[in-house]
Amino acid sequence: MTQVETKPQIENFEPTILVFACNWCSYAGADLAGVSRLKYPSNVRIVRVMCSGRVDPAFVMKAFLKGADGVMVAGCHPGDCHYLEGNLRAKERIDKMVEAMQVLGFKVERFRLEWISASEGKRFAQIMTEFTEKIRSLGPLKP
């Protein structure tokens, strides 16, 4: 059941991707992408949170356990957080989570932290497409 063994059956694999997006920037960015009719993969499921600082490492780990193949946390650019330093705290906490994932021997490529502002609709779509492809190439997390 290791991650390596699952690789072959990638054909037609549609990854499930969970994105925690902060209400003020990244979610608005996603909105903009939608309004501008930009295409991004339908594998992406967005959970809106008030601030990226709301996302506890436990949410991310649990998302993986519940079947996500990739997880992303998206917030405002540093300095732009509407709660001043929510995103900086998120980063601090999440960096530690990534270290913990390494202690557990987990492939951290499946997780990403991104800063996406409300005006970056195009970038949002790009990042989502790229991340989805990346996860698709990694294969399913659980067979």
Partner 1 sequence: MVMSESPIQYDVEIKTDDLKTMLQACYQCSSCTSVCPVRRYSKFNPRKIIHKYLYDYGVSEDDLTSCLTCGLCLEVCPHQIDFPEFIRLKREQQGVNEDLFAHHNIFNIMQVFMNEITDSGMKFEYEGKLNPESSVAYFPGCIDLYDKFLDLKETSFHEIGQSAINVMNKIGVNPNLLSLKCCGHDAYWTGDMDAYEQVREFNTQVIKDSGISTLVVSCAECYYSFMDLYNLEGVDIQHISHFVEENKDKLDFNAEATTLTYHDPCRLGRFMNEYESPRKVLEATGASIKEISLNKQFSKCCGVSAWLKCDDVSRSIMLRKLEDATRAVGEEGTLTVACSKCYAHLNCVLEDKKPQHDFKIKVKELGMIVDERSSPK
Q: Beta 70-75 vs 17-22: how paired, if at all?
A: parallel
Select from 7, 45, 96, 122 the one that contacts partner 1 (CB under 8 A). Answer: 96
Residue 83, contacted partner among ligand FES, partner 1, none, CB below 5-8 A by kind: ligand FES
- Beta partners for 72? 19, 112
Question: How far, CA to CA in Å, does 52 sit from each of 42, 69, 103, 105?
Answer: 22, 20, 24, 25
- The least distance separating ligand FES from the CB of residue 11, rounded to whole angstroms, comes to 37
**Site for partner 1, residues 55 to 74, rule: CB under 8 A:** 56-59, 61-62, 64-65
- Told to check if 12 binds partner 1 by CB under 8 A, we report no
CB 133 within 8 A of CB 40: no
Cα–Cα distance for residue pair 64/32, rounded to 1 Å? 28
| Contact residues for partner 1, defined by CB under 8 A | 1-3, 56-59, 61-62, 64-65, 93, 96-97, 99-100, 102-106, 141-142
